[in-house]
Amino acid sequence: MNHDFDVVSAARNWRFKDVRQVSSDIAGEVFASDVLDMDELRELVSKPVWKSLQATIEKGAPLDPSIADTIALAMKKWALEKGATHYTHWFHPLTGYTAEKHDSFFTPISDGKVIASFTGKELIQAEPDASSFPSGGLRATFEARGYTAWDPTSPAFIVRHSNGATLCIPTAFASWTGEALDLKTPLLRSIEALNKSAQRALKYFGVQASKVSSTLGAEQEYFLIDEEFYFRRPDLVMTGRTLFGAKPPRGQELEDHYFGSIPDRVLSFMTDVENQLYALGIPVKTRHNEVAPGQYEIAPIFEPSNIAADHQQLVMQVLKNTARRYGMVALLHEKPFAGINGSGKHCNWSMSTDTGINLLEPGDTPHDNLQFLFFCAAVIKAVDLHQDLLRISVASASNDHRLGANEAPPAIMSIFLGDQLTDIFERLANGKGGSGKKVGVLELGTPVLPPLPKHAGDRNRTSPFAFTGNKFEFRAVGSSQSISFPITVLNTIVADAIDALMDSVEAKMKKKMGFEQAALETIKETYAQHKRIVFNGDGYSAAWHKEAAKRGLLNLRTAVDAIERFTDEKNVKLFTRLGVLNEREIYARQEIMYDIYFKQVNIEGETTEWVAQTQILPGALSYLAELSEIEVKSRAAERTIKQVVEATDALSDALEKLKAQNAELGGDEVHEKAHHMRDNVLPAMAEVRKAADALERIMADKYWPLPSYREMLFVK
């Protein structure tokens, strides 16, 4: 069968002939060179304008519209010097991706000339077509007006392409009636909610701070495959994952890929990516091979969560765009290949003051660190009370293929504290106090190697929410999703928990109890009430599933199970009470999540049917036709023909069942459609795949129409 498709030749034309040479002067020449950061902006505007803007960014003061023209002029001057010809309001609609509409700086005037123009009005507000983005019923299709509003807390930046550059201005996106149509607006609201709650507590601890914000570092996992294989796989092009593919003789069994030597082609790609990200001010720190063949990771150090969310979207964009220069495609889907590790985006979350204090830093004696224990207890309470919201925040059709597999945490939410911290909380709850677990030194048995500081507890990669020293690592976040909603949920639930703990503390203080004793008693009570959420064992084990059920923990196995809980009364009250989402915005987001789930699985079902019907089944029938022409009596021929006939018939039968399910929608309401996809289409797809994968193992290679796992995963 001919594997040389025109689309592959077309794809090759996009590849740069030579690998780009990138600068090694990261600190002096590259880092943040395409970012209009605060230091550079300060040089471009007057001192009063600078101080006004600084108050907005650092202290949350209302933005003074009168300074907009001055800032716009400075932005334009800087952008033109950087080679930009256009500007755009860059925003995060509820698609999970970013959006932009480019406008030129240049405006025609008389005599056939042009001038460069950019005003304060154009900086502060733009008007994209809101009807073209998902709104969950907040906007009718004929109601097109929407607004993007400049977010001064996230710096403007330059995005470059082969023939130019564009000034990107981070913005919020709202409907004409004021509802949030994006992921940024609720995130900013949640940051403010956390700030208020944390500041309330810190006053009692004697900490002076103007602002408390969440911080985040996101570890982005991804696969790289050769673009020739990608464009020969309609399932990858259409859905981001392989809908067919027999297990290769070798996968990740040898455990030799993780942290292994990085192939030169891949390392050149990574270096190019990092240089671009450095220019955008993104503090990437780590790169390495991940567990599965063809799988890699890039990770920045922590940043303020709003900026981290913007940067994470840029990381995904740069990964995808740059891969093509090296003849590869970056796959960000959570489970592009069955049977091997999928990809996540571990979110390392903490809280810090503007004075540099990490509120989740335990110090050398965490048992004596009342402030740390207080905020840690708040996190424990938050995760236990709102297991459903954490699961909802990572719910998607794609992440369902990953959660619960051998490389990802289960859908059951739990907290890993480690031996030392668990012991401290247990001793507090039992009235003992102190710490029974001591930090020691690890001796390696040879004088050549130095003794190593030994932590009081191990790490646990099977936990969905693990304490890792001075932060919590939310491991359930999917590799393809925006991190904005998971951060929004974390900020909101922890803010609520801090308020609840402070209510308890203040109530005790009214009864003449001192603050320290009141805080200590509250921490004890909180841990005793919510210790069921703490689990330090193997989250992958069947025993944990049984134990979690005994503890009364939720196990929302599918995205649909989770999405249903979004509009529960407690969740609506939580978001509205803290001003993060109003009721209409919550219901709208639930509607959108259902709709995206339905559409993603529907596309997968239709693609499965199409590829099986037009490529795999004809290939099998052609192979049968060739086998039927064999005239020599042979047990091998008879046996092969029998196997191929049985597998081909099984494929045909399964395909007919899938066709029937694809023809149905399950109902008129979007949640009914989502249930139909989960309960009927996905199982029918699985049967088609089972039959097709069996065929791949016995068909002659020349008749199999798709690149195999062996080719895609191991050819670099």
Cα–Cα distances in Å, from 454 out to 83, 420, 421, 424, 426?
52, 12, 15, 18, 22
What's the CA gap between 700 and 568, in Å, rounded? 54
pLDDT at 527: 97
What is the pLDDT at residue 383? 98
**What is the mean predicted confidence (pLDDT) over 225-230?**
91
**Treating both helix axes as pointing N-terminal to C-terminal, what angle do 184-205 and 484-510 enclose, rounded to 10 degrees?**
30
How confident is the model over 291-335, as pLDDT tens digits?
788 899 999 999 999 999 999 999 999 999 999 999 899 999 999
Q: Of 278, 303, 299, 298, nearest to 25 (Cα)?
A: 278
Between 616 and 3, residue with greater pLDDT: 616
> What is the spatial distance between Cα 31 and Cα 279, in angstroms, rounded to a whole number?
5
For residue 405, what pLDDT is reported?
58
Number of residues assigned to the chain:
716
Position 452 scores a pLDDT of 47
pLDDT given at position 10: 47
Is residue 138 within 8 A of residue 181, CB to CB? The reply is yes
DSSP secondary structure letter of residue 679: I
pTM: 0.93
Looking at the DSSP bridge assignments, the partners of residue 173 are 148
pLDDT value for 425? 93
Both tokens of residue 538?
């193997």
* Structure confidence by residue, pLDDT tens digits, 347-382: 999 999 999 999 999 988 888 899 999 999 999 999
Return the pLDDT at 3: 52
Strand ranges in 447-569 using DSSP code E only, listed in sequence order = 452-454, 465-467, 472-474
pLDDT per position as a tens digit, 135-166: 888 877 777 788 899 999 999 999 998 899 99
For residue 5, pLDDT beyond 50:
no
Domain architecture of the chain: domains with CATH: 31-181 (3.10.20.70), 191-244+253-441+451-581 (3.30.590.10), 596-714 (1.20.120.1560)
Residue 79 has pLDDT above 50, yes or no: yes
Q: Which of 703, 308, 611, 282 is nearest to 486 (CA)?
A: 308
| H helix runs in 60-158, sequence order | 68-81, 120-124
CB 297 within 8 Å of CB 290 = yes
The predicted structure's pLDDT at residue 1: 43
Contact indicator for 463, 414 with CB cutoff of 8 Å: yes
Contact 664, 680 (CB under 8 A): yes
The distance of Cα 289 from the centroid of its chain, to the nearest Å, equals 19
Residue 495's Cβ-side half-sphere holds a number of Cα atoms within 13 Å equal to: 26
Distance CA 665, CA 371 (A): 53
Number of Cβ atoms within 10 Å of the Cβ of 45: 18
Q: Which of the listed ranges 197-206, 279-288, 622-631 does the model predict with the highest average pLDDT?
A: 197-206
Q: Give residue for tokens 């964009």.
A: 317
Asked if 433 and 367 count as a contact pair (C-beta separation under 8 A), the reply is yes
Rounded-to-integer distance, Cα 462 and Cα 696, Å: 33
Alpha-carbon span 385 to 598, nearest angstrom = 29
Q: How far apart are CA 200 and CA 519, in angstroms?
A: 13
Q: CA-to-CA distance for 53 and 284, rounded, in angstroms?
A: 27
DSSP H/E element including 330? strand 328-331
| CA 434 from centroid of its chain's CA atoms | 38
> Phi and psi (nearest 5°) for 435?
-140, 130
Nearest Cα neighbor of 400 from 236, 607, 556, 292 is: 556
Can you tell me the distance from the alpha carbon of 673 to that of 671, in angstroms, rounded to the nearest whole number? 5
Higher per-residue confidence, 520 vs 459: 520
Instruction: Tell me the mean pLDDT in the region 545-560.
Output: 95
DSSP notation for 269-318: HHHHHHHHHHHTT--EEEEEE-SSTTEEEEEEPPEEHHHHHHHHHHHHHH
Distance (Å, whole) CA 345 – CA 343: 7
User: What is the pLDDT of the chain when averaged over all its residues?
Assistant: 89
| Whole-number pLDDT of residue 442 | 45
With beta carbons less than 8 A apart as the criterion, state whether 695 and 687 touch.
no
| Helices vs strands, H then E, count in the chain | 24, 19
How far is 614 from 234, CA to CA, in rounded Å? 11
Residue 452 phi/psi, 5° resolution?
Answer: -110, 140
Percent of the chain past pLDDT 90, that is, above it, reads 66
pLDDT tier at 453, thresholds 50, 70, 90: low
CA distances from 669 to 84, 192, 665, 673 (A): 46, 35, 9, 6
Cβ atoms of residues 658 and 684 within 8 Å = yes
Residue 86 pLDDT greater than 60, yes or no = yes
pLDDT score recorded for residue 19: 61
